[in-house]
Structure 1
């Protein structure tokens, strides 16, 4: 996320916090809260962001779960290969490599960094 996007993101979060405070105060004081189009757009944006965060968390959890060697396919490409209990660093590569170890039993994917 670049700096401009980060500023927009943070200002929207700040706006959502202000909206929440206004709504809480209105509720506590027994006043009706007028809902503006801006408020609806802000809440919609927050829902989308929350869904993105949830998807990212699920992807992180998926990457951390070791999968048995039988589930590997060429579409996975290079992976980290483990044997349990973990007593040494993982092998990085594919079962198609000539030096692929015969003792590994599970694999995990890994994240390739974005070059900037």
Structure 2
């Protein structure tokens, strides 16, 4: 069992010791991170999921779900085999629409689960 006397004491620092050289606004830092693409696949995945109706259209978006984006492969889940087959038929068009939305040719293939 540990008692309060056994715990290491925290060093208190004098507030005058901390001198801030310059502060950078969080918006500036966030803009740099997003423009550098530091978030990569997760950022692209979020953008695709957020715009699913734009990508597939209303009828198809009700039957398709974006599951993941890994190593330039978009993983889709269809509600049934008919929609899976229809999506596979439109594979090239879906890839082109995804890359058009992202602004880069990132999606290379689609895998259906």
TM-score normalized with structure 1 length: 0.23
TM-score normalized with structure 2 length: 0.23
